[in-house]
Each structure stands twice: as C-alpha cells, then as structure tokens.
Amino acid sequence: MLRTPDDRFASLPGYPYPPRYVAIADRELGELHMNHVDTGPADAAPVLLLHGQPTWSYLYRKVIAGLVARGHRCVAPDLIGYGRSDKPDDRFAYTFEAHVRWLRDFVETLDLRGVTLVCQDWGGPLGLAVLAALPERFARVVAANTILHTSDERLAGRLTWANHGIADGRVVLQEALVDYLAYTMRARDFEASTLVRFATTTDVPDEVLAAYDAPFPDEPHKTGVRQMTALLPLTRNDPGARIDRRTMEVLRTWDKPFLTAYSDGDPATAGWERVFQEEVPGAKGQPHVTIEGAGHFLQEDRGEELATVIADLIDATPA
C-alpha cells in the first residue's frame, strides 16, 4: 500500500487544502484511506465533486473557489489510487466494482445528504453508480464531459466517439478510443500532465502541469491510473457495461434535477449530453449549457464558469 509523500503537495498553485482522510474498510485490502477536500460552510448541503483519469481533486480548485464564494460546501475526494489517497500497488485490486464500493463507503462514512453530484470523466460512471445505490442521499446532478458506456446498440449514431454493439456479436469502436487505451497501457513514460495538456484548450502553466503529476512520482504510484483505462467498457459483456446498464436503469426513473454542462471541445464525450437529456426524466426542462472554449478538462479551462452553472442550478432548485 503506497501513499505519496506529503512534500510532493507543498505549495501547489491554487490548492491550499490540507490532507483529510476517511478510513474505508476493504474486505480484501484492509483499511484504505481516501483523502478529500472539505471546505465551505459546514452546515450547507455538500457539492460532491468527482474527478476521473488521470487527474485528482486539484482539477476542481477553480470550481471550489467559485462555489465557496457563493456559500456552498465542497467535498472533493481523491479516488483510491489518485491524489493523496492510498494507492495499492497491485493493479488487479482496481476494478470498476471496487471503485464504486470505495466511493459509496466514502459517501456513507461522511454521511453526505442533500448532495449535488458534479461528475466528469470517470467521475460519472462511478458517482452515478453510487447515486443509483443511494438515491435518497442525492438532490441533483451536474454531468460535465462524462460517459456511461453500456455498448448498447441503441447508442449507434448518437456519440461522436463510437462505442456500441452491432449484430453477430460485433462492436463498433472509435479508433481514437482504442488508441487512448493502448497508449495508457503501453507508454513507458506516462504522465498525467501529458493528457491534461493534450485535452485542454488553454495554455496551462508549467507549475500547474507539475501539480497534476505530483501524486505520481514513480511507476508503482501510477498503478491505479494506468489500470483504470483497462476498466473502460468496450463490449456488452464487460463487467463495467453491466454496472453502467444498472445505473442507466435507475437514471431513467430519476426525476430530480439533472443538468448537463458539456464543453464544445471534447469529442470523447460528445453526444452523451443528448443521451442524458433524452433519457433522464429530471433532465427535462433544465437549462442545459454548452461551455464554449473548453476541452475535456473544462474545470481547468473554464472552472469559474462551471462553478457559476452549478451554483445557479442549486439556487434555482431548492431541495
């Protein structure tokens, strides 16, 4: 069990938050410790900010500042294997089911209620699966550049990056999606900052790029980051696809507010906003937004704007 040394997180630009750990009992690994940011009024309903691969809670620093200024409490965990959280060095410890279980235990241990879920990248499949298991704890959702891959045939023609089944047990996959998976598995030098630089539209300063790399000083600390790509559902038989289908079944009954806030520069997730808008009852009539001039990591490119979208939704939809 690894944990990145604290000195790696000293003086990161825009991120003054000390470590805060929640202990999670894992039936195979023993006790795990998940770090998180918890800032803003303690008596306010929490906004749960979930990152994906290969980032960590640092991604949300601009969003956190904007939400706290509007009087909201922000809770931003580092997934297991990321940020300051514990990092098992056995890649087989990281499964889709385990990530969901760890995150669910985090929500229950902190007893989060009235939650506004904000999810991007892998934060969507994981966070929405927790919502599906604990719907009474959640008040609303903001989905931002995220996916819920089921590989269902009905997704044909609806996504910019294809990922759907067809007849005779075949699948259609976007070449770029397969290239991305292969790169994270095969690249000798894999740095989080490389993907952040590639998937943003703004000129990210070197010191900020270094902050994204801070949790991952060597290859053993990157085990969870690399393995997460291997968990991406690419067929209808994938365990993750089955989890995503169960999640989607719950979302098709979800009538609480569900807002999409996708950027205009992220082909990897483009089309999913329309799927959610069409299939989630709570998305009907919501002021869905397209955040212009942002890439996949819209929190980095347009974090202040995303914070305004989230705060406006909370103000407009009191629980």
- Clarify whether 266 is annotated catalytic: yes
Q: Taking the CA of residue 218 as centre, how many other CA atoms within 13 Å lie in the half-sphere pointing to its CB?
A: 6
Q: What single letter denotes the amino acid at residue 149?
A: H
Alpha carbon distance 42, 119 (integer Å): 21
Largest CA distance in the chain: 55
**Annotated catalytic residue, options 78, 86, 244, 266:** 266
- Clarify whether 189 is annotated catalytic: no
* E runs forming strands in the chain: 21-26, 30-39, 46-50, 73-77, 115-121, 138-146, 163-166, 170-173, 258-263, 289-291
How far CA 206 is from CA of 65, 174, 203, in Å, comes to: 21, 31, 9
Buried b (16+ CB within 10 A) or exposed e, 14-34: ebebeebebebebeebeebbb
Residue 119: how many other CB atoms lie within 10 Å = 25
Alpha carbon distance 27, 44 (integer Å): 33
**Annotated catalytic residue, options 36, 72, 99, 296:** 296
Q: What single letter denotes the amino acid at residue 117?
A: L
Radius of gyration of the chain (CA): 18
**Annotated catalytic residue, options 78, 86, 121, 301:** 121
In the DSSP assignment, the letter for residue 2 is: B
- Clarify whether 43 is annotated catalytic: no
Alpha carbon distance 86, 81 (integer Å): 6
Active site residues: 121, 266, 296
